[in-house]
Amino acid sequence: MNVRILDQRTPEERDRPFLPGAGKTWLLPFYDVFSRAAGGRALHERAVELAGVEPGQSVVDVGCGTGNLSLAVLAAQPAARVTGLDPDADALRRAARKARRRGVDLTLTQGYADRIPAQDDSLDHVVSSLALHHLDDDGRSAFARDALRALRPGGVVTIADFGGPSSDAEDGDHHAHGHGHGRVFAHALRHLPWIKRSRAAHSPVMSRDHGDGVIALLAEAGFDDAREVAHAELRFGRVAFVQATRPLN
């Protein structure tokens, strides 16, 4: 078993702000409880099923947080080579503990979505769940360009995030489904007023829906055949599964 955490941040990136998984750093210990209550496990399993990772393939999970999607990849395909990427050191430590408990190999890299830890043309898969809405528009475009750089020709990007044709980018909160923990999580995750007052709110990043913008984002970056391949209604809203392929030449 080999679980390690690497810090690939440059000195300038050490102060770079980001929006943490549950909106506030102190909510992190509750993230996995909320995620499970809101149907997160099914979402991760569906994303993995759609990605179709094969033995020996290399996968980077962008915005991996506490490692749920990375670990779902490894549960389905133990022979995959998986790296989780996230700026949140505390979340990465939780991911590492979970990986050790499960006895799987996992590399965790502290860094940002616009610098995927992989050489050019090297990855078979880039996957990401519930993370792109934590990036601003420039950050999401930079992510898409870097995913294209890092994937091999024919490599596949699979993204699960809020949005899709029926979502309302401005009114997502008013239409949030469900109740109880899921609803609380939805608010914590997305638009609670105190999140807006937080440091993150004064940074260039803010939690957001992005409608069907992920498809346009991937197409603009140069991916082939960007499309919504499935969707799910979670307690905190509609989640679209979007997939695209790096052109062969």
Binding footprint of ligand SAM on the chain (CB under 6 A): 18-21, 35, 40, 62-65, 68-69, 86-88, 91, 112-113, 129-131, 134-135, 139, 189
Shortest reach from residue 179's CB to ligand SAM, in Å:
20
Tell me whether residue 135 or residue 156 sits nearer to ligand SAM (CB atom): 135
Shortest reach from residue 129's CB to ligand SAM, in Å:
4
Please classify residue 219 by burial: count the beta carbons closer than 10 Å to its beta carbon, then call 0-12 exposed, 13-18 middle and 19+ buried: middle
Closest CA to 132 of 38, 218, 192: 218
Helices vs strands, H then E, count in the chain: 8, 8
Shortest reach from residue 9's CB to ligand SAM, in Å:
11
Tell me whether residue 132 or residue 248 sits nearer to ligand SAM (CB atom): 132
Shortest reach from residue 193's CB to ligand SAM, in Å:
19
Residues 6+ apart with CB under 8 A from 4: 96, 107, 108
What is the spatial order of strands in the sheet that 81-86 belongs to? Answer: 3-7, 106-110, 81-86, 58-62, 123-129, 151-162, 237-245, 224-234
Tell me whether residue 68 or residue 198 sits nearer to ligand SAM (CB atom): 68
Select the residue whose beta carbon is closest to ligand SAM and give its number.
Answer: 65
Tell me whether residue 35 or residue 158 sits nearer to ligand SAM (CB atom): 35
Tell me whether residue 91 or residue 226 sits nearer to ligand SAM (CB atom): 91
Strand intervals (E) in 40-105: 58-62, 81-86
Q: Say whether 197 sits in a helix, a strand or coil.
A: helix
Shortest reach from residue 73's CB to ligand SAM, in Å:
11
- Six-digit token pair at 197? 């007052």
